Chain A
Amino acid sequence: MENERQEILDGLLEVLKTVRTIDPEKLVGVTEETDFLTDLSTPSTELINIAAKVEQKFDIEFEDEDIDRMGSKVKDVIDLIIMVKERSANK
């Protein structure tokens, strides 16, 4: 479980490095508690781009409602990825 969350965080960081509107220096020391909006100063319009990139990176597809409910912290995105993965495994 711990490993899985770390792997997802690492993958998420790879995604975030491709988002030009996030200052790369702010990605040093990102934890699950890091907030995209307040800590990384991510423009709110960019969250949807991050979600789309995450779908491609992790080969998953979010429901629209998943994204509507998604919080702005890194752990929220990790939770969502795990939930969607489990959901598709149970189908």
Chain B
Amino acid sequence: MIVAGRKVAIVGMGGAFPTCTSLDDFDKKLFAGESLIRNWPKAAAYDKQIRSMVAGYITEPEMNLEAIHPVPETEYPETYVDHLGRIPDLNLATADLGCVWAMLGAQESIKMAGWSKAEVESEQTGVVIASGGGGNVISRHAWHAFYELGKKTRMAGSHTVDRAMSYREAANVSCLIRNKGVCESIISACATGLGNIGYAYRLIKFGLQDRAITGGVEGTALETFIGFDAMQVLSKGFAPEQSSRPFDIKRNGFVCSFGAGIVALEEYEIAKARGANILGVIDEYFNNSDGDGNMFYPSYDGQKRLWKGLMAGGNIKPDVVKVHGTATPVGDILELISVVDTIGEEGYHISAPKAQFGHMLGAAGSVELIASLLMLKNQKVLPCINSDELNPELENFQKKDGWEGSDKPAAAYRHLISQETVAKEINQIVCLNYGFGGTNSAMSISRDDK
């Protein structure tokens, strides 16, 4: 359980972000109000087989990587070459694309944290990273060669296990940095990114580790995209930059995106003692389940209990609530109301960064935590672009018998949701993420000097 006096600081961050060359570029584009969503040629190549054609994708060349294909050539990425020489070939051989991003994010985080080799390789350093999906790109080719082409299993190569297993990102990062503490993955659909950081936070808070490299990843994969496309839950019918529209009355689905968000956590007093630059302090983490037996539909009750659990641990009075806000028809407003019914209708802003970079699935929570750390740094709230018009009418769920939440429509909360960047004093941000299966995660972070 919690060890009295132990706090957890965030001392490094890095990752992979669509259309961005670096974390600084990500920072710049976000606060300039840009969208990172583009038409995806890879999806468009399948024409009418695919319903949605926009995504927040990242190609190999954009990360200075090159996929090596077998001879005779197929789409199968046999391994990757790092043209900047950041990751050794031996580590690249066991990695799928998301693992490479995770390793790059880990390197950036460690560099920013300023940890020594001894600190990184310590028994007190853990790695907790995961993605929401499987190693779908790798598995597809392995299965195709075996089942459809009737090839020997070895034709898929000897790395289909390490490149596709559920905890491949944690395993690859751990092999790269050679830590001797915990190496695990927490997998909880679209709450994965925040869930891993929450688990790593607890490892430190409970006195089991002093440091952790942690976060969430979702490597670019059309194989992942088509599952959501089949569910008809992806945005359709808008220009790419207008496709992700949390809270807007015309929203019709989320934009599927890919990326990686990795952070370095460290026990606060240890970080402070060595003079680390503290990007933020984690006040509290709480997670729960809806408990209503519904795989997909968001739960007002589950979210209210999530807030209750988060607030039980300490002083939670956020200046910004970074919501999950996917831009699906039901989820956004239900989430909005669970926020206002908990912390009131004034005194904070709501940020929905998926408006700018879409829904990164297993990376969503961690990349959005990084976006929140940037809000703390810049003292600015990110703009909720495309939230052009909020519904002036009640939602259907508000009209049902037994509804106990707010009886105001979304438009009554316009003042909380800005389409422009807002400069203001930001001392605390609450981050929320949810996933299929009714899993809910919440984390509160604060400025170190407040």
Contacts and interface: CB of A to CB of B under 8 A. Distances in A.
B83 to A, nearest CB: 13
A83 to B, nearest CB: 18
B90 A52 contact: no
A21 B158 contact: no
B61 to A, nearest CB: 18
A61 B155 CA distance: 11
A3 interface: no
- Which range holds the interface residue count of chain B? 10 to 19
B154 A20 contact: no
Interface string B84-108: 0000011011000000000000000
A64 B152 CA distance: 9
Contacts of B90: 21, 43
A18, A20, A46, A61: most-surrounded residue (chain B CB, <10 A): A20
Nearest to A24: B89
A65 to B, nearest CB: 13
Interface string B70-81: 111000000101
Nearest to B92: A20
B81 A52 contact: no
A20 B68 contact: yes
Interface string A32-72: 00000000000101101101110110000100100100000
B314 interface: no
A55 to B, nearest CB: 8
B71 A18 contact: yes
B111 interface: no
B89 A21 contact: yes
A12 B81 CA distance: 21
Q: Is the interface of A mostly helix, strand, loop or mixed?
A: helix
B227 interface: no
A43 B91 CA distance: 11
Contacts of A48: 154, 157-158
B155 A21 contact: no
Interface residues of A, number: 16
B198 to A, nearest CB: 34
B159 A20 contact: no
Interface string B157-190: 1110000000000000000000000000000000
Given A18-B71, A20-B68, A20-B81, A52 B157 contact: yes
Contacts of A46: 93, 158
A45 B154 CA distance: 11
A45 B159 CA distance: 8
A79 to B, nearest CB: 19
A49 B158 contact: yes
Contact of A20 (B72, B79, B152, B158): B79
A25 B23 CA distance: 35
A69 B81 CA distance: 32
A25 to B, nearest CB: 12
Contacts of B93: 20-21, 43, 46
Contacts of A56: 70-72
Nearest to A56: B71
Contacts of B70: 53, 56
A53 B78 CA distance: 11
Contact of B155 (A20, A52, A67): A52
A20 B89 contact: yes
B92 to A, nearest CB: 7
Contacts of B79: 20
Nearest to B156: A52
A58 to B, nearest CB: 13
Contact of B157 (A18, A49, A55, A64): A49
30 contacts: A20-B68, A20-B79, A20-B81, A20-B89, A20-B92, A20-B93, A21-B90, A21-B93, A43-B90, A45-B158, A45-B159, A46-B93, A46-B158, A48-B154, A48-B157, A48-B158, A49-B154, A49-B157, A49-B158, A51-B154, A52-B152, A52-B155, A53-B70, A55-B155, A56-B70, A56-B71, A56-B72, A61-B152, A64-B152, A67-B154
Interface of B: 68, 70-72, 79, 81, 89-90, 92-93, 152, 154-155, 157-159
Given A21-B93, A48-B158, A53-B70, 12 more contacts: A18-B71, A20-B81, A20-B89, A20-B93, A45-B158, A48-B154, A48-B157, A49-B157, A52-B154, A52-B155, A56-B71, A64-B152
| A-B complex: 9 closest residue pairs judged by Cβ atoms | A48-B158, A20-B89, A45-B158, A52-B154, A21-B93, A20-B79, A49-B157, A48-B154, A21-B90
